[in-house]
Amino acid sequence: MNTATKLHPDDVRAAFSRALSDMYKTEVPQYGTLLELVADINAEVIRRDGPLSTGPHADEERQRLGVERHGAIRLGTAEELATMRRLFAVMGMVPVGYYDLSVAGVPVHATAFRTTDEASLRRNPFRVFTSLLRLDLIDDVALRERAAAILERRDIYTARCRALIAIAEREGGLDAAQAAEFVAQALETFRWHHDATVDADTYRELRSKHPLIADVVCFKGPHINHLTPRVLDIDAAQAAMHGRGMKAKDSIEGPPRRGCPILLRQTSFLALEEPIRFVGAQGDGTHTARFGEIEQRGCALTPAGRERYDALLQQSREAGKTAPDKGRALAETFAAFPDDLATLHSEGLAYVRWQVPAERLASRERPAPGQSAAELLAGGWLAIEPLIYEDFLPVSAAGIFRSNLGSEGQAAYDGGGNRGAFERDLGAPVADEFALYEATEQQSLQAALARLAGAEATSTQAA
């Protein structure tokens, strides 16, 4: 194995993310408009509020924002999912989290493929929400078997893509030429095909069960159904979308607007109606699958914070059923959630990144020895900033699915999630998002303490 000539997985991921974005721009021109709108708003917010981070990686954080996006695909079989895990591994992306959407009436479960390493996240945080259709939730046995048989016949990967994945696994990576070929081959799996693999009647029958089933089963591959740039002010973006004639979804998913943003807020514009060609006589039809989405990311919450978030969200949904203004009900319910980072941190509700303020590093003073992190924070020797949430929210995801698929289908499925089955199909366990945030916070604290100690050493020498 000669790793010296191998491209870093971060570079493969960055190249793939760029290629996918370019392809989607030509397939869905409104996505290009959305990117421009988001870039304008982000530049404005940074001008107004200052940089995203004041730490040692401020420039990288800024660059990261310019390329930051997530996509989503929906797969049909265990083999497709297991191979997708191996494909994403070539780009340094691993499955994080388990999302059960059946409770919200969407017959899928999912994970997010992303990179988990801090430096890699800064380089390119590209992530893909990847769901697997749960045929086991379809009660019509004949239809279920037909869908499974149709899926069995397709291969969503090119032969060369499979070969390159195997080479990467065997040789510990790809060289530059292989990586370029891999990006081009992998892109084929995400491409839109306007030829369906079934006749119009089969499509309609699957669609009447649930539009999602038709979307997964009737096509040659799991076309990327949206790519989502990260915006720093989603309310401004929502208004600007209306201004540019895009039909944005009427409400924003997730928490209300806050002084200290938490988790994830998302909105989308509705799916395009696209011409498709069915097998057989009555060939021409249309299908809606692809849409545009934007999101604003805030602070990651601890299990305690997340529990409180989920409870308040549920409470506001109950209140919203009778309230004339759902947005208002949401804002009023969330008044109970602390809205400044210091409190979120001290109450153990949010994860933070530890920094040493620049003026402290520069000064000759040093903290009295033996202080705890909390004491150093209170004394201004250490500072905290939000640790950005890198994952997804199941309730929001279900809302996004629903707003773009149409209203046919069930309100909910019984039986709940099945993480064990998902991990078996995936061929690996999914990582625990909370453990990742906890580790990142601890690493940032250790690094900040080391910098503080290093600063002491320097100022001692200078003195």
Quote the CA–CA distance of 178 and 12 in Å, as a whole number: 10
Angle at 349 between CA 344 and CA 351, to 5 degrees: 85
Q: How far is the CB of 129 from ligand OOG (least distance, A)?
A: 4
Q: What, of ligand OOG, Ni ion, none, does residue 309 touch, CB below 5 to 8 Å by kind?
A: none
Nearer to ligand OOG, 374 or 412 (CB): 412
Q: How far is the CB of 291 from ligand OOG (least distance, A)?
A: 8
Q: How far is the CB of 231 from ligand OOG (least distance, A)?
A: 13
Quote the CA–CA distance of 148 and 108 in Å, as a whole number: 15
Start-end of H helices in 92-243: 118-123, 141-153, 159-171, 176-190, 200-209, 211-217, 234-243
Residue 177 corresponds to which amino acid? A
Q: How far is the CB of 71 from Ni ion (least distance, A)?
A: 7
Site string for ligand OOG, 44-73 (x = CB under 6 A): ----------------------------x-
Among 74, 210, 223, 297, binds ligand OOG (CB under 6 A): 74
Q: What, of Ni ion, ligand OOG, none, does residue 131 touch, CB below 5 to 8 Å by kind?
A: ligand OOG
Q: How far is the CB of 266 from ligand OOG (least distance, A)?
A: 5
* Touching Ni ion, residues 205-244 (CB under 5 A): 228
Nearer to ligand OOG, 124 or 396 (CB): 396
* Touching ligand OOG, residues 384-403 (CB under 6 A): 392, 396-397, 400-401
CB 62 within 8 A of CB 39: no
**Nearest position to ligand OOG, beta carbon:** 397
Please tell me whether residue 89 adopts helix, strand or coil conformation.
helix
Smallest Cα–Cα separation from 35: which of 49, 51, 18?
Answer: 18
Q: How far is CA 443 from CA 56, 142, 351, 436, in A?
A: 14, 53, 12, 11
Q: What, of ligand OOG, Ni ion, none, does residue 225 touch, CB below 5 to 8 Å by kind?
A: ligand OOG
Q: How far is the CB of 105 from Ni ion (least distance, A)?
A: 17
Q: What, of ligand OOG, Ni ion, none, does residue 401 touch, CB below 5 to 8 Å by kind?
A: ligand OOG
Q: How far is CA 380 from CA 264, 360, 444, in A?
A: 29, 8, 16
Residue 131 sits in the site that holds ligand OOG (CB under 6 A): yes
Residue 252 sits in the site that holds ligand OOG (CB under 6 A): no
* Touching Ni ion, residues 13-72 (CB under 5 A): 72
Residue 265 corresponds to which amino acid? R
End-to-end CA distance of the chain: 50
What is the DSSP-derived secondary structure letter of residue 301? B
Among 83, 225, 238, 444, binds ligand OOG (CB under 6 A): 225
Whose tokens are 């259709």? That residue is 133
CB 38 within 8 A of CB 237: yes
Q: How far is the CB of 309 from ligand OOG (least distance, A)?
A: 15
Nearer to ligand OOG, 178 or 267 (CB): 267
Quote the CA–CA distance of 436 and 125 in Å, as a whole number: 14
Residues 6+ apart with CB under 8 A from 269: 30, 34, 241, 246, 247, 248, 249, 291, 292, 293
* Touching Ni ion, residues 68-97 (CB under 5 A): 72
Nearer to ligand OOG, 55 or 292 (CB): 292
Smallest Cα–Cα separation from 216: which of 341, 84, 329, 80?
Answer: 80
Residues 6+ apart with CB under 8 A from 330: 255, 256, 316, 320
Among 17, 77, 124, 266, binds ligand OOG (CB under 6 A): 266
* Touching ligand OOG, residues 100-129 (CB under 6 A): 129
CB 62 within 8 A of CB 254: no
Q: What, of ligand OOG, Ni ion, none, does residue 113 touch, CB below 5 to 8 Å by kind?
A: none
* Touching Ni ion, residues 290-319 (CB under 5 A): 293
Q: How far is the CB of 232 from ligand OOG (least distance, A)?
A: 17
Nearer to ligand OOG, 266 or 444 (CB): 266
**Contacting residues toward ligand OOG, per CB under 6 A:** 72, 74, 129, 131, 225, 266, 392, 396-397, 400-401
**Contacting residues toward Ni ion, per CB under 5 A:** 72, 228, 293
